[in-house]
Amino acid sequence: KIKYTSPDDFDFEQRLKAVRKSALEQRKIEEGKAFAAIDYDAPAETSGDTFSLSAKIGVGVSIIALALVFALGDLFPYGSFSSTEEASSAKNISDEERANLEKKLKQFQEALDVSPEDSAALEGASRTLLEMGEYKRALTLLEEIVEKRPITVDAYRLLGDVKYELKDYEGSLLAYRSAERASKSVDYRILKGLTNALLATNRPEEAVQLLLASRERRLNNENNADETSRSIVVASRPNIDLIQVDLLLGKAYSKWGHISDAISVYDHLISAYPDDFRGYLAKGILLKENGNRGDAERMFIQVR
């Protein structure tokens, strides 16, 4: 339970909760757009289009809109947000939305009654259940999918997501690692899932090493590519965002108790990307959590 030492502390927490609530609502909208079917005939490597939130954010989007998308606990210092509360808020759907999802689910179930081996219907039903927050039911269907087609990267990743929400962190970690093995290149969504699962199983040092290795590999790939191939890589993998990787790295360091290392990561982000608010916000949150309110407020002023 948070202890407030002054009315200003309480006011700040209330403002942060309001931003976070808006962020969760925005993410729910983006997730709804992103629930496209898995292409079972495609190669094992996933494309950067499905669930690519960063790719959907145009250059002209304001900083407020960006804040609503990125001010979530999976990128900022460990302990800043409650994943359980986040999941609960994200699935607080309206009666109309639930009715529409129930209708979709019924259609998929009818298809499965006719053909229990229908992978597309299994996948559609599992994604609909995820949108409804019915994680246990989605888990059963996703396990059927990976049993029928073990190389399906998205299915393994979704299985990791579901097991994480059900607090089966070891199972979540195994699913994300299966997704990583099935994928031919680094996928940020898998990397984020692996990081969160490692932190949830109290392995922050392993999470840090994973992120450092992934970051170095990405930088080496870019440095070794010529201008043309680099453009192709960036265009085809827009969801690999080094800023997001560094935010995860700062989070892992903070969970590990290496606060100075986390601050260094955020300072690098601020120096390298002075117009991006995320480094300021992450550093401000970490400073405030460690009692340095004055410097934290200066960071938050930069966000505004």
- Taking alpha carbons only, the member of 174, 210, 163, 175 closest to residue 191 is 210
pTM (global) more than 0.75: no
In order of start, what are the domains of the chain with their CATH numbers?
Answer: 7-303 (1.25.40.10)
pLDDT tens digits along 67-83: 343 434 556 676 554 44
Query: Which pLDDT does position 117 carry in this prediction?
Result: 73
pLDDT tens digits along 83-125: 444 444 446 788 899 999 999 999 998 998 888 778 788 778 8
Helix or strand or coil: residue 250? helix
Task: Look at 166-180, 225-239, 284-298 and tell me which has the smallest mean pLDDT.
Answer: 225-239
CA gap 230, 235 in Å, rounded? 9
Dig out the tokens for 197 from the structure.
């699962």
pLDDT tens digits along 142-164: 888 888 777 678 889 989 999 99
CA gap 304, 302 in Å, rounded? 5
Instruction: Please say whether the beta carbons of 288 and 303 come within 8 A.
Output: no
CA gap 139, 158 in Å, rounded? 9
Mean of per-residue pLDDT scores for the chain: 75
Dig out the tokens for 89 from the structure.
């808020």
Q: How far apart are the first and last CA of the chain?
A: 28
> Which stretches within 71-132 are classed as H helix?
83-90, 95-114, 119-132
Report the chain's C-alpha Rg in angstroms: 20
Query: Which pLDDT does position 287 carry in this prediction?
Result: 94
Per-residue b/e over 200-235, b at no fewer than 16 CB within 10 Å? beebbebbbebbeebbeebeebeeeeeeeeeeebee
Higher local confidence (pLDDT), 92 or 169: 169
What single DSSP character describes residue 115?
A: -
